[in-house]
Amino acid sequence: MPLTNDRIEQIVGNLGRSRILILGDIMLDEYLFGLVDRISPEAPVPVVEISSSKQLLGGAANVAANIRTLSEQPILLGVVGPDEASSKLSALLEQKDISDDALITDDSRQTTIKTRIIAHGQQVVRTDREDRHELSTETEQRVFDKFSEWADEIQAVIISDYGKGVITASLLERVIKICTEKNIFIAVDPKETHFFNYRQVSLITPNHHEAGFAYGRRIRTEEDLLEVGAGLLKRLEARSILITRGQDGMSLFQDGGEPTHIPTFARKVFDVTGAGDTVIATFVAAVSAGADLVEAAVVANAAAGITIGEVGTASVTPEQLRKELVLNVKNGNLITTGTGH
């Protein structure tokens, strides 16, 4: 069924009433902007003359920013280093009205920094400064203890796994166990190499490359998509899987339900950085606001269509979301279909 204007008002109107905990790899995203008008005499590479820069919340911190912009209350739980980057992260979180009380400092790690150099509107190169070793037993326990403190006050958990070592198999197992016991909705933005650690979650949101890699079959056709989606759902014993498909939109697979395909809403594509963060944040916020899984996927798809038209990571407000959804109802773009579309 298509989403109606009345239902859009109900879902968007209920945003802002939930506490959502985000657990994962926290990053500082740095952007350097400039122009290229010559090639280096030292090597065949462009010389970028930097004219401006900005720093943004990245990784799990960007998920938290998306949750906050949707008027929900995020609790950001993760690990940073004792360094200048963590101080910058805390300052950026404060600007977004997000507490850093659940950030845990690990003296053996540096805070992840991803630096992107942009020239003439295009990314020239990215540099990463990070540690990717798994948490020590002691630090993992500190993370779990902090999670346990919040477990009775949250409506949902988002696992934001970028493979930087915070989401260990043992930590994930313990967190999923508590969420299952307390009926807390748990969603995972996966790292493909950890895919089968995410068992019995409420939602997992791989893109089509990650899903195909995990299942062992590249998604080229609709038949491939249906086999991969249904197969992963069964193997993971998950409640739902949302496979994002770029320009082809999204496909939702539910335990006991038919697949649902949702066309893309994007009118222009400028930068896909952080789009996955927007999808999972908006989906979980919508579920917390009373949406069913199909409605939540439609709402998340609309949010993604907004963010990929922006440079760098971006967040969507409830009013932007409402306008985008209403526009797509008017244009007939919200109709979802089962198999054989």
Q: Do residues 106 and 74 make contact, with C-beta atoms less than 8 angstroms apart?
A: no
Assign 309 to helix, strand or coil.
coil
How far is it, in rounded angstroms, from Cα 11 to Cα 4? 11
Is 277 designated active site?
yes
pLDDT at 310: 57
Residue 20 has what DSSP assignment? Answer: E
In the numeric block, the tokens 């590479």 are attached to 45
Instruction: Give the gyration radius of the chain's Cα atoms.
Output: 20
CB 31 within 8 A of CB 54: yes
**167, two tokens:** 């989401």
pLDDT at 61: 96
User: Which residue has tokens 């998509």?
Assistant: 225
Q: How many of the other CB atoms lie within 10 Å of CB of 160?
A: 29
Amino acid present at 235: R
Asked if 267 and 305 touch (Cβ cutoff 8 Å), the reply is: yes
Among 10, 134, 144, which residue's Cα sits nearest to residue 77? 144
SS3 48: strand
Residues 6+ apart with CB under 8 A from 90: 100, 103
Catalytic residue among 106, 161, 271, 277: 277
pLDDT at 270: 45
CATH code of 5-28+59-111+130-330, in short, is: 3.40.1190.20
- Predicted pLDDT at 275: 77
Token pair for residue 170? Answer: 């043992």
pLDDT attached to residue 44: 96
Sign of the dihedral through C-alpha 117, 121, 122, 124: negative
pTM: 0.92
DSSP string for 223-278: HHHHHHHHHHHHHHT-SEEEEE-GGG-EEEEETTS--EEE----S--S--TTHHHH
How many residues comprise the chain? 341
pLDDT at 2: 65
pLDDT tens across the length of the chain (341 residues): 568 899 999 999 999 999 999 999 999 999 999 999 999 999 999 999 999 999 999 999 999 999 999 999 999 999 999 999 999 999 999 999 999 999 999 999 999 999 999 999 899 999 999 999 999 999 999 999 999 999 999 999 999 999 999 999 999 999 999 999 999 999 999 988 889 999 999 999 999 999 999 999 999 999 999 999 999 999 999 999 999 988 788 999 999 889 999 887 655 544 445 578 899 999 999 999 999 999 999 999 889 888 765 545 467 999 999 998 998 887 766 555 454 33
| Residue 41 CA to its chain's centroid (Å) | 41
**Pair 79, 109: CB distance under 8 Å:** yes
Asked if 88 and 127 count as a contact pair (C-beta separation under 8 A), the reply is no
